[in-house]
Structure 1
């Protein structure tokens, strides 16, 4: 096709759609005809660039709505796409995608597309490459077909427009062997089991040390079986409900031996066949090995139970039912983990299930579990009574916040329940805080009210020490390092009940009492870059480019303006608006430049993570030869840190600022009982020499932190230092401001 979209691009273009939820074969068809739209913003579909597609209620094939993809000279990327995804939980020989198109002045190609993925990679792709649908055409129906791959796990499909022009699409249909996909026979999934749909029927009001120890052993055995025993890895058991069935026997066991006997009997009922294709222990370039020494502990388990677990490990099949790998990326996707939205709390059984599910995911599928620095068996035992005895949903959520914080992963947190994390309240002071020398200081005002001033240090709320509140609340903040934790606390610290509050601040070394009011305000992600234009010349010698509003399509114009400068400042004290490592790095690389290595989970060896090959930046056709100064701080996280790694690897590059958030790698989402949701960093991210980045972050070459005096004066001391390093002259801060 003109403006051909490569298979590699297709492999990456739909990864975000994996977050899609609530889509089933039964409820799909209405959205395939776009009749569920509520307005011009397209709902139910994912894609990009976002400004190039929308719902359309003026041009449509039938009904009231269609989708319009429209591209011109200003459009970013080389193509526009909309996409959906479905699990391949149906039987059949082939799957067909049909749809009606209308075209106007399409220079590239208009296409339906489908893709099947399995085992973390693309298995097959069809994108109408041979049909060459372009130009101006009236409504006509098109179709594509793929044979269903027996190993496929996910189906992606949608509409794509390459080049320029306008494409309308409507009345899409998915067919399996000529029949609507909703009528296709289902593949075996979770077995029919409704024993605990309305609750676990387990109530715990106290726990003895023996019960806690036995529950910890149950948790470890249950997780081991979940990812190793063929009856569970093949999806033959509703494993959550099996946990709820065995819990009463473990709670009733008077000692360790009786509990271990109950576990042994439970396992024997599952049966075990010798493997036809057996897997050896993980080998090669490993980052971490499976945490399985405990299955050989005869003192803990007794000889019979230990031997049974060893036999299961030797006969594992390498398949997984509850986890797969994200296509094209390789971070874990936790399939078939149910959220149980109907559960009422307290429910000790489901609360323990939340702990045990999360803890085992950390043990087997978190690449950074060792970097977290925890004694994980001790964490499990500590939180068993905390979760089991939580008296209501609020207590349950707070216990999960505290548990998840043990991962020391800024990607974590109980994202579904941030309103329940202290301090609670829908109102806040109209100020922006950041920690300077471990003290919360004002760096920006959200209104013209002169009650507060930049540089004020907060000391008390209504007579209560700010530090005592921080000490009380910080256990609920899941962050990789103290810089990120202080950033997140700063964003929430003034929240509380709406209305008057008395605040004491330190201003220029003196205490100042302020009577003010908390008001309704939206909590926003902090950035410390410069307001104003994305690109500017700070002087004839220094260019400035911030990534919070960057567009890859604008890079040629920016570098044309910067070509005669002595250096360029790349400000990543923010979250980039587009994925920039390769597009931006190509202007600086003089040869293929490696900058990162990932570690990936091994489905056949749960708990093992293997290093992959180094990721490199290829040089582009235009080269910028000046100095490169990269600005980072605690607001630089994940994609921002990855971008900093890429740019730092370039010639003449240096990083200035302070410690970044220390959480890189694609995230993996985890559902927990009560329709709660958390995440983990799903990939290990390292420098090419295997130095880790998780928790450590990107260490600056030149450490520069803001000062109270600088905040009060409205200075950006980090940026001033960057300009000085390029020009080697004293910087006039008023020019930067």
Structure 2
């Protein structure tokens, strides 16, 4: 069984398997060459469709993933600009938005977003094979000729989630007629670098000489990542930074025999990027406003030498824009700075030595500059050195696969799932199991699985002791504490490439050996196994109702159910899986006391690695009393209560007459972004930190319930839900 398959099971938890799409973008002579992609797309390729730009998305993670094209336009002498284009959209939703860099009264840079918000312009538009014409005026409140003053304006257009988008007859118009797109664009040199260099199929570096030490590569990797997010020339898209590493490597590997030679090579490389303006020293931070400072500890004069040290300090103080070619905000989330234009090179299943260095350098650059919980990582730089050695020593695809998994596991977050979307997911067994009191126990069974029963204790799989199978995942799964490790490792046991699986089990005290050929390949069936209760509503007694938020699909269903539960004295709300209902809908019916829910941190876009506390997240506003549930509530939690579900738990804990019952939550919260590894791997890490209003930690620890509940094996076999029973007991107590 390939270990990468187990991570795809998490897609069942967070919305089901997505079917991959191929991605192509036509680059024709009559279209601007500065179209660039975002959403972890692969490089543009010629398509056979004439005069049409084609974008098909790979829905790697969830329906909120954005895929699109970005075009920069210069509007300094374009009066009353207007965009016109024709589009064919085969997707659930699409978007079109404009952002421009302007100056506020204080002279600070801000971003102005104009036009329709994400999802409105193309919302639920499925044109099939038909094109529809769109015309879009830029914000009339701004005189672009005066306000922008020659700076670029960025147009972003694309889709959310799986689907296809095709664009033709794109034009920028003004009162004087059509403005030729080619004449009004600023070319990102990095966008076309893959066409001009031989590096897309190989770095040209197949081995790393022993004379180059791990410490030399560590300093190279730190410098490469620092320049990627700090140097103005690289942030502006003047360089394809992947390929610049490959250009630099041969000379570095050949000449780097001493520390002084290494530093001289790096100094020459940095200076070759050109000069830049420096900015004034930032204002002193407000007391308590900064959670985490950038990590400049590796930039030491005694290690790098005076000249390289001084030059890197100048780069640190360089004048930068808030959004760069390799990082910036998405149109629907201004809180997280995410990587842009990162290629996954899926055709390189076993990358050469240069690409393997790129893999570990890229991952650690994101970790150093964009990861909200960097401070939780023990011995981070030592682990970077270890990963360099692991990636350097890889001799085949399996070695590389394990090196990637070890690097991802280091973050110890339930969000850091590893995906390989270019390998089909394995079959899943027709049941789910959990670690209960030190035994691997079947907790839920698909209706088509007739061999395995709920409450069965699994002792062997295909003759191998179950805990031997589990222990093989140690060090390869991101797990901050034992409960999360067993959650992930037991999931791994549910996938197989076998046509038949044999189990040694104990049922009602009797040992049995059974075989099954029943497997699941449907994402919805698999996700049902992760939900303890299938129904969305139950009457538990005449005073108490049950509402299962994770299985309620939409607002219409919720509003219908709310009419049923609002008159009950007590309500049990199940959050033991991932809900899809929006915060706006939930707060409307359960909260009426103004309050903040949590504190958040996000990266300073001008100083990567610096994380500040932002405005409190998910504000609760006063709602009409007629819409509010006024009874007592018990919220059910366990180790599968993660991310948005944990945020909802934090919100409910602010509500009067509310208790939490069950087990500690996962401890993985905060908005995430994707990181691509060469070879077609993707993972995620948090770009937004989430804390209690007192700024206390929740990451890795989870939220501890007010009252604990844990099932015994006998409870599972009898079909009892002790979480619900405990909640009913507490709610109905005098």
Normalised by the size of structure 2, how large is the TM-score?
0.77
What SS does the corresponding residue of 2:373 show, helix, strand or coil?
coil
Shift of 1:172: 8.2
Q: Which moved more, 1:459-468 or 1:648-657?
A: 459-468
Q: Which moved more, 1:479-488 or 1:632-641?
A: 479-488
What SS does the corresponding residue of 1:475 show, helix, strand or coil?
coil
In the alignment, which of 219, 233, 246 is matched to residue 244 of structure 1?
246
Whole-Å Cα distance in 2 between the matches of residues 84 and 342 of structure 1? 20
Whole-Å Cα distance in 1 between the matches of residues 262 and 406 of structure 2? 28
1:89 pairs with 2:72 = yes
Residue aligning to 2:156: 155
Shift of 1:356: 0.2
1:375 pairs with 2:371 = no
Q: Does the CA contact (< 8 Å) of 2:98 and 2:114 recur in 1? A: yes
Residue aligning to 1:167: none
Q: Assess, with a 3 A threshold, how the Cα gap between structure 1 residues 272 and 649 changes in structure 2: closer, same or farther.
A: same
In the alignment, which of 223, 226, 229 is matched to residue 228 of structure 2?
226
In the alignment, which of 109, 114, 117 is matched to residue 124 of structure 1?
114
- Once the two structures are superposed, the pairs formed by residues 45-56 of structure 1 within 5 Å of their partners are none
Gaps of 5+ in 1: 1-16, 38-42, 51-80, 102-111, 128-138, 160-169, 730-737
Shift of 1:655: 1.2
Gaps of 5+ in 2: 1-36, 89-93, 102-109, 118-130, 161-165
Whole-Å Cα distance in 1 between the matches of residues 517 and 371 of structure 2? 43
Q: Assess, with a 3 A threshold, how the Cα gap between structure 1 residues 44 and 23 changes in structure 2: closer, same or farther.
A: farther
1:434 pairs with 2:434 = yes
Shift of 1:662: 1.8
- Once the two structures are superposed, the pairs formed by residues 685-704 of structure 1 within 5 Å of their partners are 685-704=690-709
Whole-Å Cα distance in 1 between the matches of residues 221 and 335 of structure 2? 26
Shift of 1:219: 0.5
Shift of 1:717: 0.7
What SS does the corresponding residue of 1:668 show, helix, strand or coil?
strand
Whole-Å Cα distance in 1 between the matches of residues 348 and 95 of structure 2? 39
- Once the two structures are superposed, the pairs formed by residues 575-654 of structure 1 within 5 Å of their partners are 575-579=578-582, 581-615=583-617, 616-621=619-624, 622-654=627-659
For 1:550-608, what per-residue CA distance to the aligned partner results, in whole angstroms no more than 9, with x for missing partners? 232344443433233221111111111322x3322232323212111221111111101
Whole-Å Cα distance in 1 between the matches of residues 721 and 274 of structure 2? 66
Shift of 1:472: 1.2
Whole-Å Cα distance in 2 between the matches of residues 262 and 718 of structure 1? 62
Whole-Å Cα distance in 2 between the matches of residues 556 and 501 of structure 1? 44
Whole-Å Cα distance in 2 between the matches of residues 212 and 113 of structure 1? 45
Q: Assess, with a 3 A threshold, how the Cα gap between structure 1 residues 556 and 677 changes in structure 2: closer, same or farther.
A: closer
Whole-Å Cα distance in 2 between the matches of residues 410 and 100 of structure 1? 38
Q: Assess, with a 3 A threshold, how the Cα gap between structure 1 residues 562 and 28 changes in structure 2: closer, same or farther.
A: farther
Aligned-residue CA RMSD (Å) = 3.9
Q: Assess, with a 3 A threshold, how the Cα gap between structure 1 residues 28 and 483 changes in structure 2: closer, same or farther.
A: farther
Residue aligning to 1:115: 97
1:322 pairs with 2:326 = yes
Q: Does the CA contact (< 8 Å) of 1:272 and 1:312 recur in 2? A: no
- Once the two structures are superposed, the pairs formed by residues 28-107 of structure 1 within 5 Å of their partners are 85-91=68-74, 93=78, 94-97=81-84
Residue aligning to 1:5: none
Q: Assess, with a 3 A threshold, how the Cα gap between structure 1 residues 82 and 309 changes in structure 2: closer, same or farther.
A: closer
Residue aligning to 1:310: 313
Q: Does the CA contact (< 8 Å) of 2:189 and 2:238 recur in 1? A: yes
Structure with more contact order per residue of length (Cα contacts < 8 Å, sep ≥ 6): 2
What SS does the corresponding residue of 1:362 show, helix, strand or coil?
helix
Residue aligning to 1:187: 186
For 1:222-258, what per-residue CA distance to the aligned partner results, in whole angstroms no more than 9, with x for missing partners? 1112222223223222222222233234434223332
Residue aligning to 2:9: none
What SS does the corresponding residue of 1:599 show, helix, strand or coil?
strand
For 1:156-203, what per-residue CA distance to the aligned partner results, in whole angstroms no more than 9, with x for missing partners? 4899xxxxxxxxxx9985421355987665422134441423311112
Q: Assess, with a 3 A threshold, how the Cα gap between structure 1 residues 205 and 466 changes in structure 2: closer, same or farther.
A: farther
For 1:266-291, what per-residue CA distance to the aligned partner results, in whole angstroms no more than 9, with x for missing partners? 22333434425554676650111101
Residue aligning to 1:414: 418
Q: Assess, with a 3 A threshold, how the Cα gap between structure 1 residues 28 and 618 changes in structure 2: closer, same or farther.
A: farther
Shift of 1:509: 4.9
Normalised by the size of structure 1, how large is the TM-score?
0.77
What SS does the corresponding residue of 1:538 show, helix, strand or coil?
strand
Whole-Å Cα distance in 2 between the matches of residues 598 and 494 of structure 1? 36
What SS does the corresponding residue of 1:287 show, helix, strand or coil?
strand
